[in-house]
Structure 1
Amino acid sequence: MDRAILVTGASGFVGSRTVEALVRVGCEVVCVDLVPEPNTGVLACDLCDAGRLWSVGASRDFAAIVHCGAISGPSLYRDEPDRVAWTNIASTINLLEFARKRSVPRFVFASSASVYGPTRVDLPVSEECALHPSSIYAASKVAGEALVEAYCRQYGISGVSLRIAAVYGPGRRTACVIRDMILAGLREEPFSLPCGRDQRYHYVHVDDVAAALSAAVHAPSLGAVAYTVAADQGIVSRALADLVREIVPGPPIAVAGTEDPLSDRQGPYELDAAARDLGWRPAIDLASGIRSYAEWLTSENLKIPLQINSVA
């Protein structure tokens, strides 16, 4: 791939790992972010400012755009729905217009599995399911997906949306139940969750997400407009708590049975489409991901004495 790849949100959790994944396979990457990290080469760019975007990208030709820059979850800015919608939708429109006018061959949109909304828990969730977003964040992702598909149909862009499950792993800065469970065990502190005991959650390791986004860039052709990206068919919170404590010993984790107001009840995800069309399957199962995350939190971040068990 001779031309560069533009990655937005390149200082963020998913964006930074995606840059690393692309560089490892020999890609030249141009990185932009609203608030770039010092000394990283990431360029400052408010994606809602079309003029700034064009200024940053004026002198380069691009083989692809990977759009990871956005307000990144339903728990952020819940009292500012206009900010969430404007930021996520306007940034996507500006990037699609840039792609159209600059003839960028591939557009990869980091969407969210929250677009499905609540589903029947006894039925699998496939990419063909109707979308019923239950938050403004999820609705903004539905809008982004619709814009990507419309630009593909009307202007011939080769675009795709990846519906990404809850991402965990080294470097996450926002709320993360898995991280908090691990840290409580490492510190030998009690920990409890106020809700969700029997509710299924879907997780995926950040390195698997980066690999999926890279695969979407390099796929010779796309058989669908969207793909689900998750580690498996999900796990209920009480089972997750037990798994974390098998790997990181500590006080028992109490999980209340109250409904989680920030997470939709959903069935198991079907993941065959991404394997078929993108050649991507998750490489990191949940137990392995938890173990490696605990090791990172211990040795690289908090210098907590290591006490991690293996789980077959």
Structure 2
Amino acid sequence: MKILVTGVAGFIGFHLAQRLLAEGMQIYGIDNLNDYYDVNLKKARLAQLEPLAGFTFQFLDLSDRLGITQLFQNQTFDCVVHLAAQAGVRYSLQNPFAYADSNLSGFLNILEGCRHHQVNHLVFASSSSVYGANTKVPFATSDNVDHPISLYAATKKANELMAHAYSHLYNLPTTGLRFFTVYGPWGRPDMAYFKFVQAVANNKPIDVYNYGNMQRDFTYIDDVIEGVVRVMHKPPLADHQDTLISKAPYKLYNIGNNSPVELMAFIEVIEKALGKQAKKNLLPMQPGDVYSTYADVDDLMQDVGFKPGTPLEEGIERFVQWYRDYYGY
């Protein structure tokens, strides 16, 4: 199989490409290497991929309509895994247009490419942030998600709606994956766990929002990749019966650990892995943040026979080991 992976220099894209290349697939990866976080880390991930047989990389921005059009004209893909996006909840308050360019216009370019070139399955990244102000837990894909509390979340919900429209209109099989706080080696420096480890390792205080009264469904990267790979091989059918209204070949899944952890308990796991105490700077809730995330993964288990399950202690230990190796700590 030949797979297009967008955002291949990103955290999830990098790990997915490694996994699929190891399984003998051809990977065509694109990325614009934007500077939202350390570009050198993205380049280091690419440096791991580029020597591998079957890997091709192209520097390309999602919002480059002509470039994306030419990509689909010049290459043939069995499946597209769309992971590229302008990430980050808080950053969307400072730079909203980046989210429109990448997450809306860019996603439309991908949809058009898939539509016109008979791609068998489009798998795309959504986010647990779409649940917004929801208070019912665990979060299920059947829940109403009409109340996003950040522009980032709104763009991810828009992606789900856009994908459904294309599935309905053009019979394009699409699957959206709502990721829940993904962590692990080669992770994103803008994420809390990375910032916490970095700060504690360097004897600096950590910012703890909502005075630590938060919960997150932390999901280890290998579990996320296993979920993505299984879903890739199961395109939704036009006659599936999971809703009363839509008969489009379209499906949504949560990819989460199904086990939320209190933020203070999470910090304790990091302290134990590093063998150091954190200095905590307790702060109020930030705009766009949610109190809790908690994934219902019954559909994932039912359809592809998998649910994430890596214990937090094990996952953080692996991340800390990578951090020590990469940064020489």
TM-score, normalised with respect to structure 1 = 0.88
Q: 1:9-20 counterparts in 2 under 5 A?
A: 9-20=7-18
Deviation at 1:25, TM superposition (A): 2.1
- Is 2:128 the counterpart of 1:90? no
* Amino acid across the alignment from 1:88: N
- Taking a change above 3 Å as real, the CA distance of residues 268 and 47 of structure 1, as seen in their structure-2 partners, is closer
The residue aligned with 2:195 is 180
Q: 1:123-272 counterparts in 2 under 5 A?
A: 123-131=137-145, 132-219=147-234, 221=236, 225-254=251-280, 256=282, 258-266=284-292, 268-272=294-298
The residue aligned with 1:291 is 317
Identity of aligned residues (%): 25
Deviation at 1:154, TM superposition (A): 1.5
Distance, in Å, in 2 between the alignment partners of 1:218 and 1:24 is: 16
Deviation at 1:255, TM superposition (A): 6.2
Deviation at 1:253, TM superposition (A): 4.6
* Amino acid across the alignment from 1:34: N
Distance, in Å, in 2 between the alignment partners of 1:45 and 1:82 is: 18
Query: For 2:143, what is the secondary structure of its paired residue?
Result: coil
Distance, in Å, in 2 between the alignment partners of 1:73 and 1:184 is: 20
Distance, in Å, in 1 between the alignment partners of 2:284 and 2:62 is: 39
Deviation at 1:150, TM superposition (A): 1.3
- Taking a change above 3 Å as real, the CA distance of residues 119 and 160 of structure 1, as seen in their structure-2 partners, is same
Distance, in Å, in 2 between the alignment partners of 1:180 and 1:194 is: 13
Count of matched residue positions in the alignment of Structure 1 and Structure 2: 300
The residue aligned with 1:72 is 87
* Amino acid across the alignment from 1:72: A
Greater percentage in helix: 2
Match among 296, 300, 303 for residue 277 of structure 1: 303
* Amino acid across the alignment from 2:212: R
Residues 199-241 of structure 1: per-residue CA shift (max 9 Å, x gap)? 1122222232222222221125466621111123211211111
Distance, in Å, in 2 between the alignment partners of 1:75 and 1:267 is: 17
- Is 2:45 the counterpart of 1:31? no
Distance, in Å, in 1 between the alignment partners of 2:222 and 2:205 is: 29
**Is the 1:190–1:252 contact (alpha carbons within 8 Å) kept by the matching residues of 2?**
yes
Query: For 2:212, what is the secondary structure of its paired residue?
Result: coil
Deviation at 1:5, TM superposition (A): 0.8
Query: For 1:195, what is the secondary structure of its paired residue?
Result: helix
Structure 2: where are the runs of 5+ without partners?
34-41, 51-55, 243-250
